[in-house]
Chain A
Amino acid sequence: MAAQSRGQWGAAGTGLAVFILLMTFLVIPVGKVIYVAFVDVNTGRLTLLNFADFFNTSLFRESFVNSIYVAGMSVLFAALISMPLAYFTTRFNFAGAAVIQTLGVIPLIMPPFVGAVAMQLLFGANGSVNLLLDEHFGFTIPFMEGLNGVIMVESIHYFPFILINLSASLNNIDRAMEESAQNLGAHGLRLFRRIVFPLAMPGFAAGAALVFLKVFDDLGTPLLLNVNNMLAPQAYLRISSIGISDPMGYVISVILVAFSLLSLWTSYLATRGRDYASVQKGGGGLMKRDLKPWEKAGAWAVIILILLLVLSPHIGLLLLSFGTIWSFSVLPDGFTLAHYGEVFSTALPYITNTLLYAGLAALLDVLVATAIAYVVWRTELPGRKVLDYMGTAAVAVPGVVLGIGYLRTFHDFNLPIVGKPLASWWVIIVIALMIRRLPYALRAATAALQQVAVSLEEAAQNLGAGRFTTVRRIVVPLMAGGIAAGFVTAFATAAVELSATLMLVSAESDAPLAYGIYVYMQTAAGRGPGAALGVLAVIIVGVATYLSHRFVERTRAAHEVTARDG
């Protein structure tokens, strides 16, 4: 750790600037939201009255219970999808492992709300699947009835989080753990229950907590599925129809934030002190065995079924984007390119807005994240850990809450040149996107920085380079791959963010892609172009994800050199 007082001023200035940024655009708005929830609208005094009202109203109680139910069930189904897949890859020498790895990526490139309408058409009460079931077998399955629809869309989208964590956990288990248990007489289910599962639990719990949090906070999917008796849509509806003075929206925000923190805390507890990797020496994963032919066939059958399920929103979206009319039939009546034509002629502003907002947000993210990472890990500034906490804390703030916070804090704040309140200016959307993506960019920047050995900096300083020069010529270039990956990931996720965007878009000309999709899906003739826009969004995210992987790989290769020296 380079601890020099020279060059501290530059670092201090940077740290201060970031601190002010995060205070203004994260701490204060969220704090305000929490504060308002505890204030009596009439008297202005602190009170629990709003919460009492909330829990006294059956609609809100129902929404609260529903949100927990949906999030919990989504975790359950995501786990059900993930477990066989994790089992196949870690337990057996299975050629389909590559397929499963790809499965792990596909759902993540399409935000859940984009596929929601398509899923409705495929799995709804009179959707493709049920029409076929009814015709041939005489029964239907209520896949998409009410809350089921939300659960289905969310679990299909989020199961990779659990799959990846579970697989990693299982792969980290020292083979000797299993063998020693077998040696002492355990095998099969008992072995799994007593040894394998407890050792894999922490990783699984971390993934599950994350999924719970994300589903609990999601606004776009329930809205598009017309499910409004859940917390996030209720907050949105209250604020947008009754106004920013309605206390219920704030009460809901507090509950959302509280549960987010609870999920993160649970995840932390589950993994703390159970860092089994440090006690296990070998790794090597579970013992793999070969599959008998009928087992292989069974495994492939399960994988193909899951693959179809996972791809269904993508397939549905494609069909919808190319389809003419799709009504009460298994497939659209006909196919056309007209929707794409419309997208590229009239919907172009959505696309350009998205590129601009996401690009700016991602750029700001990597700048701020790099600054925070450097200040926290490479300087001795007092209180620098606070920046790290603030930057990471944003992950617990749902988009809805951030949006409400900005509306409340900035709607009176008129900007001089622009001539309108900050809350109505498009830049506020960029800021919201930036804050929401900051935790991920920060993680990428921190990881990238930690791969740069301190001795490399010290060598530069030993040869006469000042701190800023060292950062510019040594540290940042060596971090570049990780920074680029962070940029691309921030860009990709910002490009399809909907929750905060919905709250903050005040004029359609300022709207990005996600909003455009939402608006299009609300008109009879708009489903097709909306789907076409959705396909575009998926392509953007997919390309970005791929690029991000490439950057990370390139950095890893580049660091082979430094690793030798470090």
Chain B
Amino acid sequence: MQSQKITIENLHLSFGDTHVLKGIDLEIAPGEFFAFLGPSGSGKSTLLRAIAGFGPLPRGRILIGDEDVTSEPPWTRNVGMVFQSYALWPHMSVWKNVAFGLEERNTPREEIAPRVEQALETVGLAHLARRRPSQLSGGQQQRVALARTIVVEPRVLLLDEPLSNLDANLRIQMRRELLALQRKLGITTIFVTHDQEEANTTADRMAVLDAGVIQQSGPPMELYDNPVNLFVAGFLGSANRIEGKVITDKGRKMFVAQGGITIPVPDAEPEGAASAVFRPQNVHLMTPQAAAESSTVCFTGKVTHSEFLGSLIRYSLDLAGSEILVDEPHQAGQKVLPEGSEITACITSNQVRILRQ
């Protein structure tokens, strides 16, 4: 199985008058597990389908390996796609479903049977070969869909929200299995999801899309820690945001905001209106004395609300009009601070990102 790289050059796609993909540029390395992440309507499924050859003809180029497939019909591209609904054909047994692609490629008869069996073995469903799709559970159907795709040894694997129809526990188990399978097969894989946890846990690299444009692409942690704009910051996890501006104070750049918040920022940072963004788990509650002694940025505020989330307690702090979320890890026996209490929260300045939209 020769897995290929995928290159997308300046891709534009419109449905009638609606411009859905606006200038997509992307490179996916061979063997990579790549995620498209974004809210509904962002264009991630459209992009995936465009790679598979479905939808209106786009402007720009799609290359698989070195081959320009932009205007090729779906049935010649040899990209394996698993659909969100699995799309198993109800009038065929599991076996026939999986054998379909091989039959279309005129694979000799003697070869089909062992390959189908092998594929079913790989997904652990060899014993259900004679069943009909209507007799299978959701998870089993998904595996059959997978088997159907990998049996033809495609150069690329496309997964369109494969886990969204499964219940929560199954989802976690399945994403691990998917990842393991991908590693074993070494096939270039694109995985579309709206769930950042799925993307974070499985992808080598990912691209966040919004309104038909790639906002940022790179490894998950990179995107998480260094978002380039507010959208990415907010999409990949909870984020606190304070509006303010960057000024120069005694030769040093500072971010200032209401309530006396002052955060030192790198000198490279230009002056002007900006937002300071930081994660709730990077904020720590401290006693005022400890706060004074530390070199972190601290502020005080009143607790307006608290949520018990199992592994942590999430406090909502009122900070001069802005609401700040603070996540404290929960130890058994620890008391929850009551509403109305004044607390001090601190954060190290390098955990704060300054973003302008």
Q: A residues touching B (Cβ–Cβ < 8 Å)?
A: 174, 176-177, 179-187, 190, 194-195, 198-199, 274, 276, 278-282, 287
Contact = CB atoms under 8 A, between A and B. Distances in A.
A184 B133 contact: no
A185 B152 CA distance: 10
B81 interface: yes
Interface stretch (B88-96, B204-212, B219-227, B303-311): B88-96
A60 B329 CA distance: 91
Nearest to A273: B134
6 contacts: A179-B87, A184-B149, A185-B76, A186-B100, A279-B133, A280-B90
B85 A179 contact: no
Given A179-B54, A186-B104, A190-B104, A195 B89 contact: yes
A182 B74 contact: yes
Given A179-B83, A279-B133, A184 B104 contact: yes
A184 B101 contact: yes
Contact of B152 (A184, A194, A276): A184
B15 to A, nearest CB: 12
Q: Give the one of B86, B91, B134 with max A CB within 10 A.
A: B91
A183 B80 contact: yes
Contacts of A281: 85, 165
B101 A185 contact: yes
A181 B91 contact: no
Interface in B60-104: 73-76, 78-81, 83-91, 100-101, 104
B120 interface: no
B233 interface: no
A185 B75 contact: yes
A279 B145 CA distance: 14
A183 B90 contact: no
Nearest to B79: A183
Contact of A276 (B76, B80, B85, B91): B91
A348 to B, nearest CB: 57
Contacts of B89: 177, 180-181, 195, 198-199
A274 B90 CA distance: 8
B127 interface: no
A230 B34 CA distance: 69
B148 interface: yes
A105 to B, nearest CB: 30
Interface of B: 52-54, 73-76, 78-81, 83-91, 100-101, 104-105, 133-134, 145, 148-149, 152, 165
A281 B142 CA distance: 14
Q: Give the one of A180, A183, A195, A276 with max B CB within 10 A.
A: A183
Contacts of A278: 134
Contacts of B81: 179-180, 183
Given A182-B54, A185-B104, 20 more contacts: A174-B87, A176-B83, A176-B84, A177-B87, A177-B89, A179-B81, A180-B148, A182-B74, A183-B80, A184-B104, A184-B152, A185-B75, A185-B78, A185-B152, A186-B100, A187-B74, A187-B75, A198-B89, A199-B91, A274-B91
Contacts of B53: 182
Contacts of B133: 279
A512 B241 CA distance: 82
Contacts of A279: 88, 90, 133-134
A280 B83 CA distance: 12
A179 B55 CA distance: 10
A182 B87 contact: no
B139 to A, nearest CB: 15
Nearest to B98: A184
Contacts of B78: 185
Contact of A280 (B85, B145, B149, B152): B85
Given A176-B83, A183-B75, A199 B152 contact: no
Contacts, number: 79
A179 B90 contact: no
Given A190-B104, A198-B91, A183 B74 contact: yes
A194 B145 CA distance: 17
B25 to A, nearest CB: 25
A278 B54 CA distance: 25
A304 B270 CA distance: 70
A194 B54 CA distance: 20
B75 A182 contact: yes
B150 to A, nearest CB: 11
Contact of A183 (B52, B84, B86, B134): B52
A173 to B, nearest CB: 10
A469 to B, nearest CB: 44
A199 B86 CA distance: 16
A280 B141 CA distance: 12
B96 to A, nearest CB: 10
Contacts of A199: 89-91
Nearest to B80: A183
Nearest to A198: B91
Contacts of B165: 281
A274 B228 CA distance: 52
A245 B87 CA distance: 61
B249 to A, nearest CB: 59
B154 to A, nearest CB: 9
A187 B100 CA distance: 12
Contacts of B149: 183-184
Contacts of B76: 185
Nearest to B78: A185
A195 B149 CA distance: 17
A287 B223 CA distance: 37
A180 B90 contact: no
Contacts of A276: 90-91
A184 B100 contact: yes
A202 B74 CA distance: 28
A194 B88 CA distance: 13
Nearest to B81: A183
A276 B132 CA distance: 12
Contacts of B91: 198-199, 274, 276
B100 A181 contact: yes
Nearest to A188: B75
Contacts of A195: 89
Contacts of A177: 87, 89
Contacts of B54: 179, 182, 287
Given A198-B91, A279-B133, A280-B85, A187 B79 contact: no
Contact of B75 (A174, A186, A194): A186
Contacts of A187: 73-75
Contacts of A186: 75, 100, 104
A282 B73 CA distance: 22
Contacts of A280: 85, 90
A177 B104 CA distance: 15
Contact of B85 (A182, A190, A194, A282): A282
Nearest to B88: A279
A190 B104 CA distance: 9
A253 to B, nearest CB: 38
A179 B134 contact: no
Contact of B87 (A176, A194, A198): A176
A475 to B, nearest CB: 35
A279 B85 CA distance: 9
A122 to B, nearest CB: 43
Nearest to B76: A185
Q: Give the one of A174, A185, A199 with max B CB within 10 A.
A: A185
A274 B92 CA distance: 11
Contacts of A274: 90-91
A346 B74 CA distance: 69
Q: Give the one of A180, A195, A198, A282 with max B CB within 10 A.
A: A180
Q: Which 8 residue pairs spanning A and B have beta carbons closest together?
A: A176-B87, A185-B104, A184-B101, A180-B87, A279-B90, A281-B85, A182-B74, A176-B83
Nearest to B84: A176
Contacts of A190: 104
B83 A180 contact: yes
